[in-house]
């Protein structure tokens, strides 16, 4: 019999039961549901809403249910619809009718909201830590390649020489913004919705602040209608996740390009590549390609939830059951991408000579020739035109700028002297950009130092908040009440 079936005269149609049930996916939150129930019943005892003997029975029963699920002895049934009803049914089977008192003063509406807040704050912490590991891997590679020069690109055309470490630091910078966004989102996630009831609060004299303290929430929803209908915190997470995946996808696109024979700038470790079923010579960057491909599903999860929410009246509506699968899928997708990319970057072999050869066989030092002429008091627009004609001459004669004789240089401008060769040398070109954010070696070293400080600050934040998400440490929150 349904826990809500008293008002109904016939059983639920089986197709309706199967269509509306969420247990196939929301059982993922069983730990969060038990933790929330432990906090709720502890509060009911503290406030005198339930006698302490019944509170102790419910706490003991919930812990037995937890142990059975952990041992694989519990069965989640579609007939019981969702994780909340399944666990409550298991509790009643364990301790009898007193288990039905657990739901006093709460609704599934605020219960499911609590479970998602508990789940997402735990996963947010994991994702932040994984992003930090990837940052660290890139910082280490950047430090190892402070003297490795490569072509920098715009429009996928060679533009100006840069340090490989400098290029990697661009991704460290992107990840820093991703981490900052997620730590900001944490503020909206770590807010307690329990106690809101179905939409208007409860007639029982509950203590929401006590529950918030037990579950280590930093705040409490001030409006109960908002508490049960708010999914902004999930949308915000999905938006953060979409930007993170955008950055990872861009990185993976470069790894695919760089590892191709046409570029041959890096070689990915065999452990992170696959082969072809027909072409024995192939070594495919499948992990990078899949991260790039899975970015689309994360975008889809964001737009899916936004579409679900856009026309919903207050407060809770069954449509909101569609908030979970996309969230779970995004967590899993990001977790896998970050966990794989970190060792990929750590084990990646950088072909420094190949990169240098690429820089010396192009016109990426052309801007520096223009700057050289400007320093000789030539207006930049005129210098731009002179260098353009010089490059055209080189193309027609199959030469590069440093292949030209001084006489050839001076045929385009008499102000060019012997010092032009030093000015156009690769190391000079790179280190000439000695401004904040530039690719000069000492500037890249400063960037690495700055981002290491940011990483250290994030470590402090993680240390401060990590205990708030430890579900296993919260599982004994009923102990003080039992005593």
Active site residues: 155, 276
**Closest listed residue to residue 334, CA positions, set 302, 298, 306:** 298
CB 125 within 8 A of CB 465: yes
Residue ranges of alpha helices (H) inside 76-193 are 83-95, 108-144, 164-189
CB 266 within 8 A of CB 351: yes
d(CA 208, CA 451): 40
CB 273 within 8 A of CB 287: yes
Compute and round to an integer the Cα radius of gyration of the chain: 30
Sign of torsion over alpha carbons 93, 98, 102, 107: positive
Please state, in angstroms and as integers, the Cα–Cα distance from residue 235 to each residue in 240, 242, 300, 307, following that order. 9, 10, 12, 11
Give me the phi and psi of 315, to 5 degrees please.
-110, -95
Q: How far is CA 466 from the centre of its chain?
A: 17
User: H/E element holding 378?
Assistant: none
List, in sequence order, every residue forming a beta bridge with 219; answer none if it has no partner: 191
- Give burial (CB, 10 Å; 0-12/13-18/19+) of 370: buried
Which two structure tokens, joined as six digits, stand for 41? 């019943």
Residue length of the chain: 483
d(CA 171, CA 258): 15
d(CA 369, CA 163): 19
List, in sequence order, every residue forming a beta bridge with 161; answer none if it has no partner: 151
What is the full DSSP assignment across 317-332?
-GGGGGGHHHHHHHHH
Strand runs labelled E in 137-277: 149-154, 157-163, 191-192, 219-220, 266-267
Strand pairing category for 219-220 and 266-267 = unpaired
């Amino acid at each position: 019999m349904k826990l809500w079936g008293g008002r109904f005269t016939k059983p639920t149609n089986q197709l309706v039961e199967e269509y509306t049930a969420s247990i196939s996916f929301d059982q993922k939150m069983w730990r969060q549901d038990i933790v929330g129930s432990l906090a709720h019943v502890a509060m009911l005892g503290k406030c005198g809403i339930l006698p302490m003997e019944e509170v102790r029975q419910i706490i003991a029963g919930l812990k037995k249910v937890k142990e059975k699920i952990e041992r694989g002895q519990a069965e989640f049934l579609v007939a019981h619809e969702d994780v909340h009803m399944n666990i409550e049914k298991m509790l009643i089977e364990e301790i009898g009718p007193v288990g039905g008192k657990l739901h006093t003063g709460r609704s599934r509406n605020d219960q499911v909201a609590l479970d998602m807040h508990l789940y997402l704050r735990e996963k947010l912490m994991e994702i932040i830590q994984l992003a930090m590991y990837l940052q660290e891997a890139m910082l280490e590679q950047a430090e190892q390649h402070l003297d490795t020069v490569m072509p920098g690109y715009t429009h996928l055309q060679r533009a100006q020489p840069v340090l490989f470490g400098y290029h990697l630091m661009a991704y460290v910078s992107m990840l820093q913004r991703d981490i900052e966004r997620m730590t900001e989102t944490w503020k909206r996630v770590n807010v307690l919705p329990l106690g809101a009831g179905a939409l208007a609060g409860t007639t029982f004299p509950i203590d929401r602040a006590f529950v918030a303290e037990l579950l280590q929430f930093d705040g409490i929803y001030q409006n109960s209608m908002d508490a049960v209908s708010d999914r902004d915190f999930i949308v915000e997470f999905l938006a953060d996740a979409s930007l993170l995946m955008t950055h990872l996808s861009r990185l993976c696109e470069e790894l695919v390009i760089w590892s191709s024979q046409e570029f041959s700038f890096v070689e990915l470790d065999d452990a992170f590549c696959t082969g072809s079923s027909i072409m024995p010579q192939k070594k495919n960057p499948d992990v990078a390609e899949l991260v790039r491909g899975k970015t689309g599903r994360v975008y889809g999860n964001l737009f899916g939830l936004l579409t679900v929410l856009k026309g919903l009246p207050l407060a809770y509506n069954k449509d909101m059951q569609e908030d979970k699968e996309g969230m779970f899928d995004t967590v899993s997708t990001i977790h896998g991408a970050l966990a794989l990319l970190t060792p990929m970057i750590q084990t990646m072999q950088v072909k420094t000579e190949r990169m240098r050869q690429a820089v010396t066989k192009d016109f990426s030092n052309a801007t520096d020739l223009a700057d050289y002429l400007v320093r000789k008091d030539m207006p930049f627009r005129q210098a731009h035109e002179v260098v353009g004609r010089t490059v055209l001459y080189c193309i027609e004669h199959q030469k590069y700028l440093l292949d030209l004789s001084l006489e050839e240089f001076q045929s385009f401008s008499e102000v060019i002297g012997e010092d032009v060769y030093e000015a156009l040398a690769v190391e000079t070109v790179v280190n000439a950009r000695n401004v904040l954010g530039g690719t000069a070696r000492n500037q890249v070293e400063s960037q690495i130092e700055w981002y290491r400080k940011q990483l250290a600050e994030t470590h402090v934040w993680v240390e401060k908040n990590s205990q708030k998400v430890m579900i296993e440490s919260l599982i004994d929150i009923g102990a003080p009440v039992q005593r």
